[in-house]
């Protein structure tokens, strides 16, 4: 375990004692698909009870964690986690597929996610992202750096949704999220190149950085729109 995670676990164990059920690392750091420049540590805490008194135990104690570029942990009670799969099917699906238990029990073993809830959230996420991209494009005035920043900031949720759409259509889900998105683009009837170029941009690829951001953004937003249409018809 990395030193930063070891320090974090030691601190929450000291804070919660027997109330602590599990400490789970999720996201790109858990899956091994992290991009060092843009990735932080995403951690879930599961407690026997997650009332206000439990929040106060960590309040003001994670300044060092934030300085390292990390967000505060997600905190669930064990009961709330079990009853929330209908609200967060994508997030819990990703966590279930790619997580590392840093301390305690594996709380994702028994979680079950319904397809109806998953399809609804996939559509919601893609259409919401499409609407936001339209707003951000208008605000950007086609400034190259702003367009690049918008694409870098929005591509990860699109990739995450793609794996779950594959599950909905009964396709095998590749272990690599980018491969899943490439396969899905084929199923949805559009070229993967635009999405792939944004993935490369996020990774700092030299050719992607030299590409015309205005052209890339147009292709990117069109691809997101086609994905949204595809899910809408499922």
Helix axes of 89-97 and 144-168: crossing angle, nearest 10 degrees: 80
Positive or negative torsion for Cα 127, 128, 131, 136: negative
Segments in 89-176 forming alpha helices (H)? 89-97, 115-140, 144-168
- pLDDT(162) > 80: yes
Question: How does pLDDT run across 186-207, given as a tens digit for each residue?
Answer: 899 888 998 999 999 999 999 8
Conformation bin of residue 35: beta by default, left when phi > 0, alpha when psi is -120 to 50: beta
Lowest-confidence pick of 77-91, 168-182, 206-220:
168-182
Q: Average pLDDT in the 140-156 region?
A: 91
Q: Which residues on adjacent β-strands are paired with residue 25?
A: 43, 100
Picking from 189, 194, 187, the residue whose alpha carbon sits closest to that of residue 158 is 194
Q: Average pLDDT in the 16-20 region?
A: 96
Higher-pLDDT residue of 23, 29? 23
Lowest-confidence pick of 27-31, 74-78, 122-126:
27-31
Q: Domains of the chain by range and CATH?
A: 3-104 (3.30.460.10), 115-232 (1.20.120)
Q: Which residues on adjacent β-strands are paired with residue 100?
A: 25
Q: Average pLDDT in the 106-114 region?
A: 92
Question: How does pLDDT run across 55-71, given as a tens digit for each residue?
Answer: 999 999 999 999 999 99
């Amino acid at each position: 375990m990395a030193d930063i995670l070891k320090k974090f676990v030691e601190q929450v164990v000291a804070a919660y004692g027997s109330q602590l059920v599990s400490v789970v690392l999720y996201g790109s750091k858990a899956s091994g698909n992290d991009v060092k420049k843009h990735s932080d540590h995403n951690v879930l805490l599961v407690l026997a009870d997650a009332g206000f008194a439990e929040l106060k135990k960590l309040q003001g104690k994670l300044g060092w964690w934030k300085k390292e570029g990390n967000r505060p942990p997600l905190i669930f009670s064990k009961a709330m986690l079990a009853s929330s799969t209908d609200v967060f099917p994508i997030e819990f699906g990703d966590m279930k597929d790619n997580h590392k238990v840093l301390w305690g029990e594996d709380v994702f073993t028994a979680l079950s996610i319904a397809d109806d809830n998953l399809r609804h959230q996939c559509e919601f996420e893609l259409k919401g992202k499409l609407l936001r991209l339209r707003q951000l494009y208008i605000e950007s005035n086609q400034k190259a750096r702003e367009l690049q920043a918008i694409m870098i900031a929005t591509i990860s949720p699109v990739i995450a949704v793609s794996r779950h759409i594959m599950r909905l259509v009964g396709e095998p889900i590749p272990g690599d999220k980018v491969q899943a998105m490439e396969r899905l683009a084929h199923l949805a009837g559009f070229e993967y190149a635009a999405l792939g170029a944004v993935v490369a941009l996020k990774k700092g690829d030299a050719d992607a950085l030299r590409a015309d951001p205005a052209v890339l953004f147009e292709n990117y937003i069109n691809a997101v729109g086609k994905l949204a249409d595809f899910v809408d018809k499922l």
